[in-house]
């Protein structure tokens, strides 16, 4: 008696603190319309799942409205109709906060990795960084089982139109790897610094839109 084996508790892929209670879609179902291919899921706690949900809807609205996704068969169909309905009901917080604001910050080369292709073209940098922090944390966990530290710094922006292929080729040429993908809608590529794996560079393709995300670059640059 007393030989009760310890059942390992899976911790949340995002916070790494709370026990996971559900399987969470790293790229939300609202972004990938049916018929859905195999989705990317990670264990998550209820609190993280709930917080991420609002950011998922924000991202869906951003992607559906983005000019680069104009005419894309997926984003211009059901997804765009949902966003238009949300705007009609004044429920799109992306559209609410976007009015009258824009940011354009060209990124310079940092730590040898060129970000010359990318700019900060989204409206609320802190919100955008938070949205892509969830996604990069989830993708990294799915890919490697690693979690980025709680105080990790995330910065996200867009890869400029006309530089998508160059930016990916640049990352791959420096030893970057293919990350999780949901073909044909989503792909990811990433490169982690050898000296400190919390420093990384990601390119995420959602339909025609390419987003770059850096982690902890400013801290270590
Ligand atoms: Zn959590």
Half-sphere exposure of 176 (CA within 13 A, CB side): 23
Q: Which of 1-10, 65-74, 187-196 has the lowest mean pLDDT?
A: 1-10
Please check the confidence at residue 147 and state whether its pLDDT lies above 90.
yes
What is the Cβ-side half-sphere exposure of residue 198, based on CA atoms within 13 angstroms?
Answer: 13
Q: Are 159 and 117 in contact (CB under 8 A)?
A: yes
- 29 φ, ψ (degrees, to nearest 5): -60, -30
What average pLDDT does this structure show over 9-16? 93
For 204, the 3-state DSSP assignment is: strand
Give SS3 for 58.
helix
**1: pLDDT strictly greater than 50:** no
**In the block, which residue shows the tokens 């007393």?**
2
Q: What's the CA-to-centroid distance between 31 and ligand 1, angstroms?
A: 21
Question: How large is the angle between the packed helices 46-65 and 78-88, nearest 10 degrees?
Answer: 100
In sequence order, the β-bridge partners of residue 205 are 187, 210
Distance 194 CA to ligand 1 centre (A): 27
Q: How far apart are CA 7 and CA 188, in angstroms?
A: 33
CA of 46 to the centre of ligand 1 (A): 7
Confidence of residue 44 (pLDDT cuts 50, 70, 90): very high
44 C-alpha to ligand 1 centroid (Å): 5
Q: What percent of the chain has pLDDT over 90?
A: 50
Closest CA to 63 of 131, 139, 151: 131
Residue 30 CA to ligand 1 centre (angstroms): 20
pLDDT tens, position by position, 74-112: 666 677 777 667 667 767 666 666 554 544 444 444 444
Confidence of residue 65 (pLDDT cuts 50, 70, 90): confident
Percentage of residues in the chain having pLDDT higher than 70: 74
- In the reported structure, the alpha carbon of residue 104 is separated from the centroid of ligand 1 by a whole-number distance in angstroms of 32
**What are the residue ranges of helices labelled H in the chain?**
46-65, 78-88, 93-98, 125-144, 164-173, 217-220
Q: How far is the CA of 146 from the centre of ligand 1 (A)?
A: 14
């Amino acid at each position: 008696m007393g030989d009760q084996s310890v059942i390992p508790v899976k911790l949340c892929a995002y916070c790494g603190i709370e026990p996971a209670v559900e399987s969470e879609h790293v790229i939300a179902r609202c972004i990938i319309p049916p018929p859905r291919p195999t989705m990317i899921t990670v264990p998550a706690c209820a609190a993280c799942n709930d917080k991420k949900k609002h950011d998922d809807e924000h991202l869906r609205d951003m992607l559906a409205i983005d000019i680069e996704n104009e005419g894309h068969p997926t984003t211009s169909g059901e997804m765009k109709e949902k966003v238009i309905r949300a705007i009609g009901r004044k429920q799109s917080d992306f559209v609410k906060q976007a009015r009258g604001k824009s940011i354009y910050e060209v990124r310079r080369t940092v730590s040898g990795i060129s970000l010359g292709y990318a700019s900060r073209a989204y409206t609320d940098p802190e919100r955008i960084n938070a949205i892509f922090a969830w996604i990069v944390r989830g993708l990294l966990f799915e890919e490697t089982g690693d979690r980025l530290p709680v105080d990790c710094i995330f910065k996200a922006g867009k890869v400029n139109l006309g530089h998508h292929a160059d930016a990916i080729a640049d990352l791959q040429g420096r030893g970057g790897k293919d990350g999780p993908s949901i073909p044909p809608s989503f792909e990811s590529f990433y490169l982690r610094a050898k000296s400190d794996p919390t420093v990384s560079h990601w390119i995420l393709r959602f339909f025609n839109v390419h987003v770059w995300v850096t982690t902890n670059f400013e801290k270590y640059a």
